[in-house]
Each structure stands twice: as structure tokens, then as C-alpha cells.
Amino acid sequence: MAAALQTNIPPVKVPATFRAVKKQSFAPFRVRCAVASPGNKRYNITLLPGDGIGPEVVSIAKNVLQQAGSLEGVEFSFREMPIGGAALDLVGVPLPEETIAAAKESDALLLGAIGGYKWDNNEKHLRPETGLLQIRAALKVFANLRPATVLPQLVDASTLKRQVAEGVDLMVVRELTGGIYFGEPRGIKTNENGEEVGFNTEVYAAHEIDRIARVAFETARKRRGKLCSVDKANVLEASILWRKRVTALASEYPDVELSHMYVDNAAMQLVRDPKQFDTIVTNNIFGDILSDEASMITGSIGMLPSASLSDSGPGLFEPIHGSAPDIAGQDKANPLATILSAAMLLKYGLGEEKAAKRIEDAVLVALNNGFRTGDIYSAGTKLVGCKEMGEEVLKSVDSQVPASV
């Protein structure tokens, strides 16, 4: 199983003192929605604010999620738990056992951001990012979905020419729990010549490739029916197997047009002609790089959400931006990526597509009305902070008129 590849980072034990405090500090609380009734659907959501700007953007996204749900007959029970640097400061580990337990008991998780300069010199097992790897392992999420859409309102914010960026709408499906990031053997050792050598292993089993490929085929089927599998099959044996397995599965999806592309060419094509792509599926390391590249086509990494899904159990939803400690607490963060992650939570995690659409439309309305945070600001628009942008989206959530695109 892919999850087994992650166990090089062992579960952590939490001091008994935290287990005693936890019941008081992190008790769940029920949010009663305005249209609550006995027949309403109810979901348990674990909030992981994390570090830097994470608490700011998660707070706003929670309010938007609550409002959209209330208008569609959905209730939420929110529980906030520590992870990353916040958990390190609180209990000395990046992922407390209490957080893992709460995560597994929930219907979905919304994460803010992890990391910061404060913990950069920590040992690997005490880095905030280790908490993120551990929560992914605990939830067995293996499929990372990262949409990259150039909104009409923000096309001029892209670093690409308008004629290249306009109309881009693609999805990167990244395998999340295998490959070189988790393969064994790995490490640093001294060779027979007394020289240090660092090594990692790119490894994939057939079932790992098959399951991510199925997610990608299904995703492409719901979009425009085109899937591009990205590999390096001209050099890497793991990629040869990857291409073989993806090609074999294509017969099960005759309505999806499958193509293959080497990763170096894909990196070039993303900036040369990104509109040729609909859905991209690729391994862990290639997906990590290509999805970040695709994000910049949109104009700002602060606009992009993501979803990490498993075969069963709760999904993990988070913006792809970092913790931005340099602007944390200054009301400068862009909350839209986290708000859109909440929309993905509703759509992919809970199947509540109407509530998700309300949030997506509300974001467009706020942008149509000219509101911009600093990262997407341009002349002729109104510069606002994190809180005001959230308030503008919240005002638009209950609009019954779909936003024009």
C-alpha cells in the first residue's frame, strides 16, 4: 500500500499533560445554521489553521462555508486542532495524536498553511512540514487535485501574454503518497572513498499507478474528456511502468482521449500553450513541480485551492500557497484560495455541489465588483485586506443569481 511508503516518519507520542488539557482547549463546538431543521444534513469538519496566515484565512473560509451550507440545508460541527509549528509550540510535536484522532473522525478537513522561519533549523522529525506528511499518511490520501483556472477578471495578472493565458482551465492530478519522496532506500551515507552520498528511490507499484490513473480518468470524464499522462519513460523504469499501466486502463474509458508527454516537454508546453491541457496526471515529484508552475499561469498562487483524496475516509482540502510568515497577522493575505478550498471540500469531499457552486459564484462576484488583495491588485481595482475580501465574498454567497464568467 502507498501508505506503507510513508512510514519512514513514525507516529508521534504526545505528552500526557496535553491529553489532559486537550479536552478543555480543543473541545468541538456546534455551529447552528440559520435554516437548521431536523432533516438537515450534518457534517463534522476538522479545521487545521496551522501557521503564518493559516489562522486568518481558515477563519474566513469557515464563515463562508457555514453560510453556504446554511442556505442549502447543511449543518457543520467544527473542531479546531493544532498541526505544524503551532503544534510544536504547544506540545513539542508537529502532529499530536489528538489531531490524528479528530481527523479520522471527521467528514473532511480544511487546512490553512504550515511552516515558518521560526522552525527552519529544527531536526527533520520536528519540522512543521513533517506534520503535513504525517496527516496525509494517517488519512491515506493519495490523489491530489489542483485546478489552475485563469479567471477573466484576473487574466492581466498572469505573467503570460493575454492571448496565451486567456481561457486556461486545467486540472493537475498528482499522485501524493508514493514515488521518490517516500521510496526506500533513502538516506545519506559515506562511500568507500570517504565521500558523502545522498540517495533516494523512485518506486511505484502497479496498484498505486492504477488508482491514481482511475481518479484522473474520472476527473477528465467530468471535464472536457482529455487526459495527458506526464512521465519520463525514455529514461526511468518507474515511468515505463507508469505509462504501461495508464495506457492499459484507457480501454475502460473510451470517452476520454489519452495522450502521453515527457515531463520536460510538459514543463515547456505549460508556458507555451497551456490551453492544450485539460487534465494532467503524473507522479509525486513531477506533479509537485508542474502544479506550482501551472499555478503561476493564473496570476497568483493565492488564488488556487487543492483537494487530497483517499479511497475512503475524509479528504484534506487546503490552499496551495505557503504560510507567508512575512505578512502573517497584517491583514494582507488573500483568503480566496482557502475559500475555494472550502468549495472543493463541499464538492469533492461531501458531494454538496449546490453549496460549492454558491461559494464559487460568490468569489466571482467579489472579483467582478473590483475587490483585490495585494497579490492580485491592478490599477482601477479596489485594494482590500484579508478580512474585507472575506466579507465581500460572504455578502455574495446568498446571491441567487450565478456570476457571469
Which of 41, 288, 332, 387 is the catalytic position? 288
Query: Is 332:359 a contact under the CB 8 Å cutoff?
Result: no
**Considering only CA atoms, which of 304, 378, 382 is closest in space to residue 341?**
304
Which of 140, 292, 331, 332 is the catalytic position? 292
Active site residue 398: no
Active site residue 331: no
- The answer for residues whose C-beta is within 8 angstroms of residue 339's C-beta and 6 or more apart is 57, 60, 61, 64, 359, 363, 390, 393
Amino acid letter, residue 181: Y
Active site residue 264: yes
Which of 43, 51, 204, 232 is the catalytic position? 232
Which of 51, 62, 181, 278 is the catalytic position? 181
Active site residue 361: no
Which of 264, 273, 311, 398 is the catalytic position? 264
Per-residue cell: 326: 512575512
Active site residue 288: yes
- Cα separation, 48 vs 102, in Å, equals 10
Query: Is 31:303 a contact under the CB 8 Å cutoff?
Result: no
Active site amino acids: 181, 232, 264, 288, 292
